[in-house]
Amino acid sequence: MTEEKILFYKKLGLKLTPQRLAILEFLEGNTSHPSAEDIYRALKKNFPSISFATVYNTLELLVRKGFIKELNIESSRKRFDPLTHPHHHFFCKRCRKIVDVNQKIDIPIPEELKDYDVEEFQVVFYGLCPDCKS
Amino acid sequence: MTEEKILFYKKLGLKLTPQRLAILEFLEGNTSHPSAEDIYRALKKNFPSISFATVYNTLELLVRKGFIKELNIESSRKRFDPLTHPHHHFFCKRCRKIVDVNQKIDIPIPEELKDYDVEEFQVVFYGLCPDCKS
DNA sequence: CTAATTGCAAAAATTTTGCAGGACT
DNA sequence: AGTCCTGCAAAATTTTTGCAATTAG
């Protein structure tokens, strides 16, 4: 990670421990939407002392600070996304892969939600990915 | 539940035990999108012997047969929806209420998914419900 | 130096499973 | 009658928590 990026995080009040840096670096540019366990297992290789508690604590902190997003797409398992700008996803029901859909989607807020405070929406497309459909 | 409805389920190969009937009746017309535990607790009152295993088994069966849908909206907790036709949802981030959005939403399948086999999509609107926004 | 973070281990929450007895068609 | 279902309890999976030792700023 660049010095500039490190300063950026520090300025926003993030205490940058080696563990947190490792998690941020693992997530940066990662499009696989890993689960907490995926992250833990990946980091364990180069950082044998890291614990689940730290992974969960850090993920929760990063979500709270708005640096990553938590996805509730796969049943009973959170997945994490380093892209925080509004975008959407495809979920392969066979291999459970989650793919980013960056194309802008315009939806008028439905009439029946007129008394609601709608902040955002997310679209999930379901089906089979190219690898699984054959 | 009407005799007609019972016959309808039986014809589709569903063995209708009292437990399954109770679960079906509880879900019919229920718009609260209950979790497995909500269902278990509600049934326990009139059906003290019912077990979690039966609730989970039955829900899994009903999902497999297409009589209900499983929603992965609330973090790490499945919620169930007796409405199986294509529709969408609003999720209140404060009280965790899930509300049906029945208005038809048209979205062209994004160009980047042209090699994917997209079967359906679901939109989730996030924000605050009327009760929580004040 | 001080408050925040880490790692461990235990606990909590949700869901799944094996199996013996019982119920449905 | 035979297969499938139920209920119990134990197990599996994912996430959270308490706490003493350590570390970042």
Domain of B24: which CATH number?
A: 1.10.10.10
Query: How confident is residue B12, by pLDDT bands cut at 50, 70 and 90?
Result: confident
Same domain, B55 and B23: yes
pLDDT of residue A47 exceeding 90, the answer is yes
- At B68, list the tokens: 């209900």
Span B117-129, pLDDT tens digits:
999 999 999 999 9
Same domain, A60 and A92: no
pLDDT of residue B3 exceeding 90, the answer is no
Same domain, B128 and B97: yes
- Identify which of B95, B74, B69 has the alpha carbon closest to the alpha carbon of residue A116: B95
Same domain, A9 and A74: yes
pLDDT of residue B26 exceeding 90, the answer is yes
Query: How confident is residue A90, by pLDDT bands cut at 50, 70 and 90?
Result: very high
Cα-trace Rg, chain B? 17
Q: To the nearest whole number, what is the mean pLDDT of chain B? A: 94
Query: Scanning every residue of chain A, which has its alpha carbon at the shortest distance from the alpha carbon of B130?
Result: A116
Q: Which of A70, A115, A128 sits opposite B116 (nearest CB)?
A: A128
| Protein CA B75 to sugar C1' D8 (Å) | 29
Distance from CA of A111 to the nearest CA of B (A): 8
Boundary-marking domain end, from B38, B60, B81: B81
CATH of the domain at B106: 3.30.1490
Rounded Cα distance between B97 and B79, Å, is 11
Query: Scanning every residue of chain A, which has its alpha carbon at the shortest distance from the alpha carbon of B106?
Result: A107
Q: What is the arithmetic mean of pLDDT over B26-38?
A: 96
Nucleotide nearest to B77 (CA to C1'): C14
Does pTM surpass 0.85?
Answer: yes
Same domain, A20 and A48: yes
Distance from CA of A53 to the nearest CA of B (A): 17
pLDDT of residue B6 exceeding 90, the answer is no
pLDDT of residue A60 exceeding 90, the answer is yes
Same domain, A15 and A64: yes
Same domain, B33 and B95: no
Span B60-86, pLDDT tens digits:
999 999 999 999 999 979 999 999 999
Contacts with B99 (C-beta within 8 Å, 6 or more apart), sequence order: A113, A116, B31, B89, B90, B91, B92, B129
Same domain, A114 and A72: no
- Domain range for B63 is 3-81
Same domain, B9 and B74: yes
**Count of residues making up chain B:** 134
Q: What is the arithmetic mean of pLDDT over A17-44?
A: 96
Same domain, A65 and A108: no
Those residues of chain A whose CB sits closer than 8 Å to some CB in chain B are 70, 72-78, 88, 90, 99, 101-103, 105, 107, 109-113, 115-130, 133
First to last CA, chain B: 39
Q: What is the arithmetic mean of pLDDT over A16-44?
A: 96
Give me the pLDDT at residue A45, please: 92
Q: What is the arithmetic mean of pLDDT over B96-112?
A: 97
How many independent structural domains does chain B possess? 2
Same domain, A76 and A103: no
Scan for tokens 């419900």, then name that residue.
B129
Same domain, B45 and B64: yes
